[in-house]
A and B are shown apart, each in its own frame.
Chain A
Amino acid sequence: MQKNNKQNSEQGFKHWFIKKWSTEPIFSTGIALIVMIILQTWSLGFDYDSFGSWFFTWTNNWINILRNNAGVGLIALGMSFVIMSAGIDLSVGSTMVAVGAALMMLIDRGPNGILINLGIEGIPAILIAILVSLAFGYFLGNLNGILITRGGIPPFVVTLATMKLYRSVTQHFMQGYNPRVPLEFLPISNFQIGRFRMMPIIYWLLIAAVLYFMSKRTTFGRQIIAVGSNERSANLSGVNVKKVKRRVYAITGLLVSFAAIIQVSRIGSMDYANAGSGYEMEAIAAAVVGGTSMSGGRGTVIGTLLGVLIIAVMNNLLNLLGVPPFLREAFKGLILIGAVLMQKKQKTV
């Protein structure tokens, strides 16, 4: 034993590092992120003489990265819970478009605006529109959940179907209709704090904090892990498996509506054909890079946040380094494969 202890102290740090690296996905993902941030900082060109303006550029760059990814970040959080429950949700992008369209119809200042025709304007209209959008997103997610649990259809198939359904119906109804978003709606995302527009980041992180608490401390949060890890055991432990699954999809729908609200308030419009398309894959990639296991049972909120950041920072870095645009997606693919290979190693250790 004494010999062992001596060895341990000699290679203490190395040992600790290897152990952490090989057992905790968050640790390795975190290190990868730090390395990228260093590279990114370096490539922004650190200049000691004009520290002030350098710092502003650096911060601004970061605020931009985070703000641009707040929407996908929220969706990725929902996605990671779905994957933790051993499911998948391909419909998130289409749900976002559907909720966005509903939101814009409600707040439209033009002759067809729903709330304005009911005589509701200004702040009350905005509040009502937000609440209705959230409820609508929850409803669409819940619909996925009901088809999966009651209908007994695999999640991949259900959400592939609703992915097509939600977007197609939205596009049909919104043909030739260009709602005008009232100016009072835009500050939701564009309100400036100091010199920075960082509202979406604040929503994202606040919601992440709530979800973190939910995943660690609530019955529902822990039951998600139980259901994803071993559905039979969970069922025989009195967990209402169907209810847990349904609620996971519903909550994802809710998070998607937050993303839709941010999107609409940021730019005041929405492209129904393209907005949110590919978000499902971005979200899955972020969740997986963050250590969520595709077979369910494993994953964390913090891991998913790191996963979103890694992909975002890498995009930014490739941009700064001048990597040709068509090649950038290849790097995303490589990162994804690297992350999964690492997790596979971690599982066997």
Chain B
Amino acid sequence: MKIEIKNIDKAFGAIEAVKDVSFSVSGGEVCALIGENGAGKSTLMNILGGVLPADRGEILIDGQQVNFQKPADSLNAGIAFIHQELNLINDLPIYENMFIGRELKKKGRILDLEKMIARTKEVFDQMEIDLDPKTMVRDLDTSYKQIVEISRAIMMDASIIIMDEPTTSLTDQEIERVFEMMKTLKKQNVGIVFISHKLNEVIEFCDRYSVLRNGELVAEGMVSEVNVDQLARAMVGHELRTESLQRKTESGREVLRAENLSYNNDFKNISFSVHQGEILGVTGLLGDGRQELFQAIFGSGQIEAGELYLNDQQVEIKNTTDALQKGIGYLPRDRKENGIIKDMDIFENASIVTWPLFDNFGIIDREKQEQEFKEQVERLRIKMGAKNDSINSLSGGNQQKIVLAKWLIANPEIFILDNPTQGVDVGAKEDIYDIILELAAEGIAVVILSSEAKEIIRICDRALVMYHGVIQGELSQAEMSEHEIMRLATGASLNSVQEGAEDAEK
């Protein structure tokens, strides 16, 4: 099967989201659709998925023109759309999820569980997946959930699958698993549209690419003929920095010190310190406990044992309000769940942290908030409409900048950033790095939690690697490499660093 979209136009009010874009994908090929946030990728795919009507242009399936009015039309034509937010019900087992809305029934409207299980198993076998259909979806990790959704699409005879940033919230091993699945799909002559920010994955895995920028198709071709730099340049329209941002600086006095912090099995005997003007990286694999540890330090979680010192004074952080007042800031991961508040506008989202800091007897100081807000919008180069537009009107990168802005206005002494560049496009990523460097230069102690070793190496002065709730090792600027970080993150001990060096010499 081959799908072509030709000369599609789509405008929202005065904003032209997609301008004269053509794109095609055939069975058995993986076609990457790349572009920054707001480049028009989602709009284009929503048109293909029957979610949005196009203003102009046509969609052809094997040369026949089709007209999609609603998502079901597109699905019936064999196009499945796997959204970033997965569409599964956690409290049902896999097989019921596979058949949701189209349950198989025996006589008398009784569910035919055996048949559903058998059919699911069949699909899994066909896809070479080793999963028990009776597992509850809640017990699966995100990659398996994605695999279940893809299997469901296959069961419904989808011959083209659109995947919207499938790897954003996955760990490296999980990504590997999804890629395996995609390889199998390819073998079975299924066409895949792969929407992503991660250019390495595109290079490694896709056959063709199309790049969108500001709603226009700016480049397309075979992946084998380009490299990451060229793709990145096509995406942002100018050269990108790739050099290391590590600085050679003396860090100042110690701001935060943890001694033997423990809670349950989440983290054990954690001791470390952070200094003024330093950027400390903390990394590890899934389940390493770094998120639990730093949320506990921020007062949103518990500490059983151990002491915490702020500026050499022992403190107890009762809750997040307490942490805020003591000068600790925390930019959470998963912007949608933890970062933004969808019922509030852009301005309110950016000022929520500082309402209590600047208010007069409980009354919000709007003038001051507005002034601070304006400064941050300029500083972070946030692209937005009116300040009382909905937060959802912003692209992912700009939403993240708003979450960052709310903490910058609070001016914390210690700033913990958990996956600060998650789901953010290349341009916004660099902006965020710039801000982090500025903050360190101003003397703020910065802690970056990240699952991307590259990010840690590129920006941090010092890194802690965690493994199952303990600090497995500490690496100085000179010692950091992806290899070393991965060794420690998978549980190898620090003294094996020497062995590694010897191996390299041999």
Residues of A whose CB lies within 8 Å of any CB of B are: 1, 217-220, 222-223, 225-226, 228-230, 232-240, 242-243, 297-298
From the candidates B323, B356, B410, name the one contacting A219 in the complex (CB within 8 A): B356
What 0/1 readout, one digit per residue, does chain B (332-349) give for beta carbons within 8 Å of chain A? 100001111111100010
CA distance A233 to B335 in the complex (A): 9
B269 interface contact, C-beta 8 A = no
- Which of B257-265, B359-367, B477-485 interfaces with chain A? B359-367
Residue among B330, B355, B356 having the largest count of chain A Cβ atoms under 10 Å: B355
From the candidates A219, A226, A236, name the one contacting B359 in the complex (CB within 8 A): A219
27 chain-A/chain-B pairs, Cβ below 8 angstroms: A1-B14, A217-B366, A218-B359, A218-B364, A219-B362, A219-B363, A219-B364, A220-B362, A222-B348, A223-B355, A225-B343, A226-B341, A228-B343, A230-B340, A230-B341, A233-B339, A236-B330, A236-B338, A236-B339, A237-B341, A237-B353, A237-B406, A238-B410, A239-B321, A242-B319, A297-B341, A297-B343
CA distance A228 to B300 in the complex (A): 18
B321 near A238 (CB under 8 angstroms)?
Answer: yes
Which A-chain residue is minimally distant from B354 (CB atoms)? A238
From the candidates A218, A233, A242, name the one contacting B338 in the complex (CB within 8 A): A233
Q: Which residues of B contact A234 (CB under 8 A)?
A: 341, 352
A238 near B323 (CB under 8 angstroms)?
Answer: yes
CA distance A238 to B325 in the complex (A): 9
Sample of 8 further A-B pairs with CB below 8 A, known A218-B363, A226-B344: A218-B362, A218-B364, A219-B355, A225-B343, A230-B337, A236-B339, A237-B406, A239-B320
Q: Which of B93-119 contact A (CB under 8 A)?
A: none
From the candidates A225, A232, A235, A236, name the one contacting B344 in the complex (CB within 8 A): A225
**What's the minimum C-beta distance from B339 to chain A, rounded to whole angstroms?**
6
Which B-chain residue is minimally distant from A232 (CB atoms)? B338
B324 interface contact, C-beta 8 A = yes
**What's the minimum C-beta distance from B140 to chain A, rounded to whole angstroms?**
22
Q: Which residues of A contact B341 (CB under 8 A)?
A: 225-226, 229-230, 233-234, 237, 297
CA distance A237 to B344 in the complex (A): 14
Q: Which residues of B contact A237 (CB under 8 A)?
A: 320, 341, 352-353, 406
A298 near B352 (CB under 8 angstroms)?
Answer: no
B364 near A238 (CB under 8 angstroms)?
Answer: no
| A-B pairs, 6 with minimum CB distance | A238-B324, A297-B343, A229-B343, A219-B355, A240-B321, A236-B332
CA distance A219 to B324 in the complex (A): 15
Q: Which residues of A contact B348 (CB under 8 A)?
A: 222
CA distance A235 to B295 in the complex (A): 11
CA distance A1 to B363 in the complex (A): 43
Q: Given the known A-B contacts A1-B14, A237-B406, A240-B321, are A222 and B352 also in contact in the complex, defined by CB atoms under 8 Å? A: yes
CA distance A315 to B366 in the complex (A): 42
CA distance A1 to B300 in the complex (A): 50
**What's the minimum C-beta distance from B121 to chain A, rounded to whole angstroms?**
37
**What's the minimum C-beta distance from A274 to chain B, rounded to whole angstroms?**
38
CA distance A1 to B11 in the complex (A): 11
Q: Which residues of A contact B330 (CB under 8 A)?
A: 236
What 0/1 readout, one digit per residue, does chain B (396-408) give for beta carbons within 8 Å of chain A? 0000000000100
CA distance A225 to B352 in the complex (A): 11
CA distance A223 to B351 in the complex (A): 11
CA distance A45 to B343 in the complex (A): 45
Residue among A222, A223, A226, A236 having the largest count of chain B Cβ atoms under 10 Å: A236
Residues of B whose CB lies within 8 Å of any CB of A are: 14, 295, 298, 300, 319-321, 323-324, 330, 332, 337-344, 348, 352-353, 355-356, 359, 362-364, 366, 406, 410
Q: Which residues of B contact A235 (CB under 8 A)?
A: 300, 320
CA distance A297 to B340 in the complex (A): 13
Q: Which residues of B contact A228 (CB under 8 A)?
A: 343
Which A-chain residue is minimally distant from B342 (CB atoms)? A229
Q: Which residues of A contact B344 (CB under 8 A)?
A: 222, 225-226, 229
CA distance A284 to B353 in the complex (A): 31
CA distance A332 to B341 in the complex (A): 33
**What's the minimum C-beta distance from B82 to chain A, rounded to whole angstroms?**
22
Q: Which residues of B contact A225 (CB under 8 A)?
A: 341, 343-344
From the candidates A233, A240, A243, A298, name the one contacting B340 in the complex (CB within 8 A): A233
Q: Which residues of A contact B321 (CB under 8 A)?
A: 238-240, 243
A226 near B352 (CB under 8 angstroms)?
Answer: yes
CA distance A243 to B318 in the complex (A): 13
A240 near B320 (CB under 8 angstroms)?
Answer: yes
Which B-chain residue is minimally distant from A218 (CB atoms)? B362
**What's the minimum C-beta distance from B107 to chain A, rounded to whole angstroms?**
37
CA distance A1 to B14 in the complex (A): 8
Q: Which residues of A contact B366 (CB under 8 A)?
A: 217
**What's the minimum C-beta distance from A239 to chain B, rounded to whole angstroms?**
7
**What's the minimum C-beta distance from A341 to chain B, rounded to whole angstroms?**
20
CA distance A217 to B298 in the complex (A): 27
**What's the minimum C-beta distance from A227 to chain B, rounded to whole angstroms?**
9
CA distance A237 to B321 in the complex (A): 8
B356 near A232 (CB under 8 angstroms)?
Answer: no
Q: Which residues of B contact A220 (CB under 8 A)?
A: 362
**What's the minimum C-beta distance from A234 to chain B, rounded to whole angstroms?**
7
B14 near A233 (CB under 8 angstroms)?
Answer: no
From the candidates A1, A226, A236, name the one contacting B320 in the complex (CB within 8 A): A236
**What's the minimum C-beta distance from B26 to chain A, rounded to whole angstroms?**
35
CA distance A228 to B341 in the complex (A): 9
A233 near B364 (CB under 8 angstroms)?
Answer: no
B337 near A232 (CB under 8 angstroms)?
Answer: yes
Which B-chain residue is minimally distant from A293 (CB atoms)? B343
**What's the minimum C-beta distance from A218 to chain B, rounded to whole angstroms?**
5
CA distance A1 to B332 in the complex (A): 42
**What's the minimum C-beta distance from B416 to chain A, rounded to whole angstroms?**
11
Residue among A219, A235, A238, A242 having the largest count of chain B Cβ atoms under 10 Å: A238
CA distance A217 to B366 in the complex (A): 8
Q: Which residues of B contact A243 (CB under 8 A)?
A: 321
Q: Which residues of B contact A218 (CB under 8 A)?
A: 359, 362-364
Residue among A219, A240, A298 having the largest count of chain B Cβ atoms under 10 Å: A219
Q: Given the known A-B contacts A236-B300, A240-B319, are A230 and B352 also in contact in the complex, defined by CB atoms under 8 Å? A: no
A238 near B337 (CB under 8 angstroms)?
Answer: no
From the candidates B323, B339, B340, B364, name the one contacting A222 in the complex (CB within 8 A): B364
Residue among B298, B344, B410 having the largest count of chain A Cβ atoms under 10 Å: B344
Which A-chain residue is minimally distant from B295 (CB atoms)? A236
Q: Which residues of A contact B356 (CB under 8 A)?
A: 219, 238
**What's the minimum C-beta distance from B91 to chain A, rounded to whole angstroms?**
18
Q: Which residues of B contact A297 (CB under 8 A)?
A: 341-343
Q: Which residues of A contact B359 (CB under 8 A)?
A: 218-219
CA distance A252 to B172 in the complex (A): 50
CA distance A238 to B318 in the complex (A): 11
CA distance A238 to B299 in the complex (A): 9
Residue among A233, A239, A240 having the largest count of chain B Cβ atoms under 10 Å: A233
CA distance A242 to B319 in the complex (A): 10
CA distance A180 to B362 in the complex (A): 41
Residue among B298, B340, B341, B348 having the largest count of chain A Cβ atoms under 10 Å: B341
**What's the minimum C-beta distance from A136 to chain B, rounded to whole angstroms?**
24
Q: Given the known A-B contacts A220-B362, A237-B352, are A298 and B338 also in contact in the complex, defined by CB atoms under 8 Å? A: no
Q: Which residues of A contact B410 (CB under 8 A)?
A: 238
CA distance A297 to B342 in the complex (A): 9
